[in-house]
């Protein structure tokens, strides 16, 4: 079964390609990238005017399965990913039960194989039950394909446990993904601490809650030699900490979410709980610092922290709503509209942050590039296509997006996973 992607602009930074070319896919692998490739019985995907890129990987997604299927499932979450132009997602372990052993990692994998529309890469918990006490069976989880470990959503307050986890994970070369949030400093806050929290009468979350733990974990990474990946970086201070750490040669990478480079805390004044997210939407200065971090390479990855919740959970008073924004179906549009069009990132740099670097950090062989023999995971984006975000048309179960009604320019038009079109022309194919 052959697929010919014809006439698009191929952007493949790993192989140094940025030109109009055809891409031939054969048996799930890239078999040729050339100026003109004959059709020769292949199914043709017309790509004139489109960017043809190695499949985008969202390394921070909550698929909510098992246990929280009212919010999202592997079936719906991966379809949301496909609609958003992603060919792979790494899913966080804060499900019920927490993904903290081999059997549960295998459950995710078998579920994904059966019902998933895109590749699913499970992330294991750092500690048993994510309780922050005893290490989970990290080596065992790695053996069956866990790509990283993380305490996402339940930060490890005990520095000694984190130290041991990093030392232990370093043996397996697994990145430790840290959700940096000092819970004592959060002090029941629900939005960014500052002028707007004061005006809206909502409890604030200081930048220090993130920065203090980012500083701690960077120092632990230096001590242990582990690979630290800082999730959803949101403050100017954290960006600076990562910049300094990289300069010192510490093994640290970082990701930023589309909402943290697109929105400020002012928007919380609507009291729309779709704006309630953790870490919170920050000030304009922080947004600019995140963009600068993306531009200068301090921030390696754009990841969504896709955090689905039910309408019933979110349709309450601001204080009572759970934290979280769904991001899979708006990320590419926000990145093109907010970063590529204004010139913060070139399309090549965007591919680095949405495909090459996530593949590298998660150790995914055959992903993140379009070299001959690579997996045929391909994302097509029409950089001029406009679409208005409509949460009611999301493939995700959840609707908690503050971008409802936004017009985005630069929309994914196809997602190909292992040579299979899973989304084409804004329609799911699976």
In the set 270, 285, 297, 393, which binds other proteins (CB under 8 A)? 270
Give residue for tokens 């600076």.
Answer: 240
Size of residue set near other proteins by CB under 8 A: 20
Q: Which helix or strand (DSSP H or E) is residue 59 part of?
A: strand 56-61
- Residue 406, interface with other proteins (CB under 8 A)? no
- Residue 193, interface with other proteins (CB under 8 A)? yes
In the set 320, 386, 388, 425, which binds other proteins (CB under 8 A)? 320
In the set 77, 85, 194, 258, which binds other proteins (CB under 8 A)? 194
- Residue 39, interface with other proteins (CB under 8 A)? no
- Residue 237, interface with other proteins (CB under 8 A)? no
Strand-pair category, 2-12 with 204-205: unpaired
β-bridge partners, 408: 387
Query: Nearer to other proteins by C-beta: 200 or 406?
Result: 200
Q: Could you give the residue ranges of the DSSP H alpha helices within 102-252? A: 102-115, 138-143, 159-171, 183-186, 195-200, 207-224, 236-247
Total residues belonging to the chain: 430
Cα separation, 82 vs 88, in Å, equals: 8
Q: Which of residues 197-236 bind other proteins (CB under 8 A)?
A: 197-202, 204
* Number of continuous H segments (helices) and E segments (strands) in the chain: 14, 19
Cα separation, 430 vs 424, in Å, equals: 10
Cα separation, 238 vs 257, in Å, equals: 14
Query: Nearer to other proteins by C-beta: 248 or 271?
Result: 271
- Residue 368, interface with other proteins (CB under 8 A)? no
Residues in contact with other proteins, shown as a per-residue x/- string from 271 to 310 under the rule CB under 8 A = x---------------------------------------
Strand-pair category, 301-302 with 252-256: parallel
272 is catalytic: no
Which listed residue (12, 151, 305, 375) is catalytic? 305
Query: Nearer to other proteins by C-beta: 94 or 283?
Result: 283
Q: Which of residues 91-120 bind other proteins (CB under 8 A)?
A: none
Q: Rule CB under 8 A: which residues touch other proteins?
A: 193-202, 204, 270-271, 312, 315-320
**Where in the sequence numbering do the catalytic residues fall?**
305
């Amino acid at each position: 079964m052959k697929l010919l992607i014809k006439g698009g602009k191929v952007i493949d930074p790993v192989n140094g390609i940025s030109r109009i070319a055809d891409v031939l896919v054969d048996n799930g692998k890239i078999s040729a990238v050339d100026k003109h490739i004959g059709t020769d019985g292949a199914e043709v995907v017309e790509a004139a005017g489109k960017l043809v890129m190695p499949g985008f990987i969202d390394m921070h997604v909550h698929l909510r399965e098992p246990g929280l299927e009212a919010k999202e499932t592997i079936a719906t979450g991966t379809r949301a990913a496909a609609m958003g132009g992603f060919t792979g997602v790494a899913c966080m372990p804060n499900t019920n039960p927490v993904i903290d052993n081999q059997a549960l990692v295998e459950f995710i994998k078998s579920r994904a194989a059966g019902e998933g529309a895109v590749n699913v890469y499970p992330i294991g918990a750092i500690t048993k039950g994510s309780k922050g006490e005893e290490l989970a069976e990290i080596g065992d989880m790695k053996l069956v394909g866990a790509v990283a470990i993380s305490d996402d959503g339940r930060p490890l307050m005990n520095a000694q446990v984190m130290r041991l986890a990093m030392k232990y994970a370093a043996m397996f070369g697994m990145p430790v993904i840290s959700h940096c949030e000092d819970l004592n400093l959060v002090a029941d806050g629900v939005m960014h601490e500052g002028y707007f929290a004061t005006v809206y009468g909502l409890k604030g979350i200081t930048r220090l809650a993130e920065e203090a733990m980012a500083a701690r974990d960077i120092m632990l990474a230096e001590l242990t030699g582990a690979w630290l990946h800082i999730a959803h970086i949101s403050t100017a201070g954290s960006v600076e900490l990562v910049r300094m750490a990289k300069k010192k040669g510490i093994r640290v990478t970082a990701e930023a979410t589309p909402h943290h480079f697109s929105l400020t805390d002012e928007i919380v004044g609507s009291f729309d709980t779709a704006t309630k997210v953790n870490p919170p939407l920050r000030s304009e200065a922080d947004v600019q610092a995140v963009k600068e971090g993306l531009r200068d390479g301090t921030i390696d990855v754009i990841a969504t922290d896709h955090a689905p919740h039910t309408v019933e959970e979110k349709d309450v008073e601001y204080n009572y709503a759970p934290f979280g924004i769904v991001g899979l179906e708006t990320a590419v549009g926000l990145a093109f509209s907010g970063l590529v069009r204004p010139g913060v990132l070139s399309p090549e740099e965007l591919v680095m942050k949405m495909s090459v670097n996530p593949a590298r950090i998660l150790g995914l062989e055959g992903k993140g590039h379009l070299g001959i023999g690579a997996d045929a995971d391909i994302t097509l984006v029409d950089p001029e296509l406009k679409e208005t975000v409509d949460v009611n048309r999301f493939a995700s179960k959840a609707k908690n997006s503050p971008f409802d009604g936004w017009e985005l320019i630069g929309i994914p038009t196809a997602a190909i996973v292992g040579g299979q079109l899973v989304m084409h022309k804004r329609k799911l194919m699976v």
